[in-house]
């Protein structure tokens, strides 16, 4: 939105990620994305043992799965995010790493208030296809839907 700073509608942690991308020269942004790809934590054993809890994000070109859990109940809970994407899909894993770094551990309200198009501020449009960027939007939408559903169920 015109005149809106990237951190105005994103949690501080996600705003810091956006700021890191914005301040990096274009030539280094892809490497930064790959760093986030390497930072995605492995799935905990309970999710590996119960893959039905993982939801596929069909809009992604590669098999990509997400699960959200809440620590606490209702709208006061803390969000925990889990992602599963193949190692050979570094762009998609990078998106997962960004969302994990910026949203995992945040409150429900912060996650749900996250601007849907925050990823446009990362400066990746000249490096990766619009289709892949829309994949990030789909991942965020799925996370927000899962979080809202879980928070409403726990109220």
**In this structure, what are the phi and psi dihedrals at residue 151, rounded to the nearest 5 degrees?**
-65, -40
Across the range 42-65, mean pLDDT stands at 92
pLDDT confidence tier of residue 32, bands split at 50, 70 and 90 = very high
Helix, strand, or coil (residue 36): helix
Across the range 25-30, mean pLDDT stands at 94
C-alpha 73/C-alpha 102 separation (Å) is 21
> Where exactly are the structural domains of the chain?
12-153
pLDDT tens digit string along 56-105?
999 988 999 999 999 998 888 999 999 999 999 999 999 999 999 999 99
Displacement of CA 90 from its chain's centroid (Å): 14
More confident residue, 144 or 129: 144
Give the CATH number of domain 12-153: 3.90.1010.10
Indicate if the pLDDT at residue 107 is higher than 90. yes
What's the whole-number average pLDDT of the chain? 91
C-alpha 16/C-alpha 7 separation (Å) is 8
Find out whether 39 and 101 touch, Cβ atoms under 8 Å: yes
C-alpha 3/C-alpha 57 separation (Å) is 32
């Amino acid at each position: 939105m015109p005149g809106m700073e990237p951190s105005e509608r994103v949690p501080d942690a996600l705003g810091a990620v956006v700021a890191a991308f914005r301040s990096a020269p274009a030539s280094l942004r892809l490497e930064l994305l790959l760093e986030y790809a390497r930072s995605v934590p492995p799935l905990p054993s309970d999710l590996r043992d119960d893959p039905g809890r993982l939801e596929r994000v069909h809009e992604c070109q590669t098999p990509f799965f997400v699960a959200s859990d809440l620590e606490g109940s209702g709208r006061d809970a803390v969000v925990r995010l889990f992602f599963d994407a193949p190692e050979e899909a570094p762009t998609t894993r990078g998106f997962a790493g960004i969302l994990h770094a910026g949203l995992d551990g945040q409150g429900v309200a912060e996650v749900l208030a996250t601007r849907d198009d925050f990823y446009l501020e990362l400066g990746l449009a000249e490096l990766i296809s619009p289709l892949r960027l829309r994949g990030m939007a789909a991942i965020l939408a799925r996370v927000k839907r899962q979080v809202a559903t879980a928070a409403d169920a726990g109220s």
